[in-house]
Chains A and B, each alone.
Chain A
Amino acid sequence: MGASASVRAEGDRPLPAGPLLVVEHLTARRGGRTVLEDVSFEVPTGTTVAIVGPNGGGKTTLLRALLGRVAVTGRIRWSGAVRVGYVPQKLIDVDIPVSVEEFLGMKCPGSYASCLATVGLPAAILSEPLSALSGGELQRVLIAWAIVDRPALLLFDEPLSNVDVGSQEAVVDALARVRSDLGITILFVTHDLHGLRHFADRVLVLDRTVRFEGTVAELRADRARTAELFGLRPAHDPPAPPTPGGGR
């Protein structure tokens, strides 16, 4: 378990020493079903970690457990008093008369110009109601909300799931600035690593339990392991005959 400080991410960006977060033997149950089982990993300070896995694999539950919103057994250790920013996958309702400025002010009163600049949005958007924003704009406003009080860690559930293809680059770009300009450690969840593959230093494959932990390069280098983890057939293989029950 865990990443050592000597690990280098794709792109040769050195990982700062010391974990910001250590999760040990985390187990969570919901409705009589084990959603997370003996999950252990570390998030080194200053890194970007992707949690990838199939739907129902416990990714969102893990983020909610880190927020203290899910009853778990095991240990979650932080390096001191860590301020956490969070962007959820789904919002209950944004069709309400709340301007962007009011929304940001619900977390931290003050000036939001630099915060919006980081996520690539103009200051003029402050007077817009949330309901008038496009999916990409809303996602970037949510990032701005999460970072407005300068957290040490940003938890992001499915950064690209509610964003059309044309806006995905802007969202990834905003996250890249959060990392480079503010030095915020990022832990994000995705079911599709494709759009964010250049962005993660490390990858954690989660399917109820941790199935793989390493860099994207390590994951990609081991094609057999990748195929096993994701239930994929290598592109050059002939089609496999159908099996009863199929799947993984």
Chain B
Amino acid sequence: MTALPWYGLLTAAAVGLSAGYVGSLMVLRRMALVGDALSHVALPGLAVGLLLGFNPYVGAFAFVLAAAFVTWIIERSTQLTVDAVVGVLFVLALAVGVLLTPEPDLLEALFGSPASVGPGGLVDGLAVTLVAVLATRAIYRPMVLSVISEDLAASAGVRVAAVSLAYLTLVSLVVAVGVQVVGTLLVGALVIVPAAAAKLLGTNLRRFATLSAILGLGSAAGGTALSVPIDVPAGPLVVLLGVAAFAIAWVAFALLRRRAEGPTGPRTDRDAPAAPSVLPRPGPAAPTVRPGGQAP
């Protein structure tokens, strides 16, 4: 029986954890497809690294970060939606990447290869995980406030644009390290699927983010470990495990919702027990702004 690729397995676990945690914000921002598309932009970066003889994952990081930055600029300066911008970048990157990547390396670049991860890759994965988790934790609350309302966040002193850019940088980091485990085509799933499953079961932020990180770790490590005995590429197995977790979460969500809805009366506000009205007694009506209408 083939031995487990321990370096690859530990790297997959670390990357899965950070991808799940970072991805939870991506899902909250309703940018799941953006995250997926951004990951494909890593391909031409890998290709450039291979062709020019430097670390291909540095190339991947540079390309994903550049794409994220362009998306950020266009999003804030035009009326185009992010998905439209990323849609253009995605097909461009895939086309250029496939043309540039040397054929022997193309399959590994697209689907990853945990078995080829060495001690250096593991160190990179652990370092990126540490940075990504700590930095994401630092910007988590400002990011969530921005999701609820950018004006609300700004009124609390959040520098919305700067936080958003910092977040996209972290996504780029995680994607660049994740491609060595699951490849450029599937690394987006590592960012999105665990978070989507966790959102179904999360009733508060702490539970949601923790669950997303755990599911990311579990699916990445589980898929990598299973790929050895059944002799298939790890990337697709990682995705399948993540989707299985999503399906289970979906069933659990449906059952919980059915139980919660139950036979109850109409929904009313919950008021504090002693909350007497302090309003003055009503008098004559003030005007309603209704241009051209009859005075109320």
To the question of whether A and B form a pair in one complex, the answer is yes
Q: Is A134 a contact of B269 with CB atoms below 8 Å? A: yes
Cα-based distance from A219 to B145 in the complex (angstroms): 38
Q: Is A193 a contact of B288 with CB atoms below 8 Å? A: yes
Residues in A neighbouring B275, C-beta threshold 8 A = 117, 120, 170, 173
Q: Is A98 a contact of B204 with CB atoms below 8 Å? A: yes
Q: Is B269 a contact of A176 with CB atoms below 8 Å? A: no
Residues in A neighbouring B294, C-beta threshold 8 A = 232-233, 235
Contact with A along B154-172 (1 / 0, CB 8 A): 1110000000000000000
- Interface: A227 (CB within 8 A): yes
Q: Is A198 a contact of B280 with CB atoms below 8 Å? A: yes
Q: Is B269 a contact of A194 with CB atoms below 8 Å? A: no
Contact of A93 among B148, B279, B288, B295 (CB under 8 A): B148
Cα-based distance from A91 to B282 in the complex (angstroms): 31
- Interface: A20 (CB within 8 A): no
Cα-based distance from A134 to B282 in the complex (angstroms): 25
Contact with B along A146-171 (1 / 0, CB 8 A): 10000000010000000000110110
- Interface: B267 (CB within 8 A): yes
Contact of A219 among B28, B142, B277, B286 (CB under 8 A): B286
Q: Known contacts A106-B144, A193-B286; is A97 also within 8 Å of B150 by CB?
A: no
Cα-based distance from A63 to B205 in the complex (angstroms): 30
Q: Is B290 a contact of A232 with CB atoms below 8 Å? A: yes
- Interface: A38 (CB within 8 A): no
Residues in A neighbouring B205, C-beta threshold 8 A = 97-99, 102
- Interface: B289 (CB within 8 A): yes
Q: Closest chain A residue to B206 by CB distance?
A: A102
Residues in A neighbouring B150, C-beta threshold 8 A = 92
Q: Is B271 a contact of A122 with CB atoms below 8 Å? A: yes
Q: Is A86 a contact of B208 with CB atoms below 8 Å? A: no
Residues in A neighbouring B279, C-beta threshold 8 A = 169, 172-173, 176, 198-199
Q: Closest chain A residue to B79 by CB distance?
A: A31
- Interface: A121 (CB within 8 A): yes
Q: Known contacts A86-B155, A167-B269; is A192 also within 8 Å of B288 by CB?
A: yes
Cα-based distance from A234 to B295 in the complex (angstroms): 6
Residues in A neighbouring B141, C-beta threshold 8 A = 105-106
Interface residue tally on B, bucketed by range: 35 or more
- Interface: B2 (CB within 8 A): no
Q: Known contacts A88-B151, A91-B148, A121-B271; is A99 also within 8 Å of B203 by CB?
A: yes
Residues in B neighbouring A73, C-beta threshold 8 A = none
Q: Which of A174-207 contact B (CB under 8 A)?
A: 176-177, 180, 191-194, 197-199
Residues in A neighbouring B268, C-beta threshold 8 A = 134, 166
Cα-based distance from A92 to B152 in the complex (angstroms): 10
Q: Is B155 a contact of A231 with CB atoms below 8 Å? A: no
Task: Output the least CB separation between B161 and chain A (Å).
Answer: 11
Task: Output the least CB separation between B138 and chain A (Å).
Answer: 13
Q: Is A232 a contact of B293 with CB atoms below 8 Å? A: yes
- Interface: B53 (CB within 8 A): no
Residues in B neighbouring A199, C-beta threshold 8 A = 279
Cα-based distance from A221 to B155 in the complex (angstroms): 37
Q: Is B289 a contact of A173 with CB atoms below 8 Å? A: no
- Interface: B255 (CB within 8 A): no
B interface residues with partner A (beta carbon < 8 Å): 28, 30, 141-142, 144-145, 147-152, 154-156, 199, 202-208, 267-273, 275, 277-280, 282-296
A interface residues with partner B (beta carbon < 8 Å): 11, 52-54, 64, 67-69, 84-88, 90-94, 96-99, 101-103, 105-107, 116-117, 120-122, 124-125, 127, 129-130, 134, 136-137, 145-146, 155, 166-167, 169-170, 172-173, 176-177, 180, 191-194, 197-199, 216, 219-220, 226-227, 229-235, 246-248
Q: What are 28 residue pairs bridging A and B, where the CB atoms are less than 8 Å apart in the complex? A: A68-B154, A88-B152, A92-B148, A96-B147, A96-B199, A97-B202, A97-B205, A98-B148, A102-B205, A120-B275, A134-B267, A134-B268, A137-B270, A166-B269, A170-B275, A173-B275, A193-B287, A198-B279, A219-B286, A220-B286, A226-B295, A230-B289, A232-B290, A232-B293, A235-B295, A246-B292, A247-B291, A248-B292
Instruction: Please give 5 more A-B residue pairs, beta carbons under 8 A apart, in addition to A220-B286, A247-B292.
Output: A116-B272, A136-B269, A198-B279, A230-B287, A231-B291
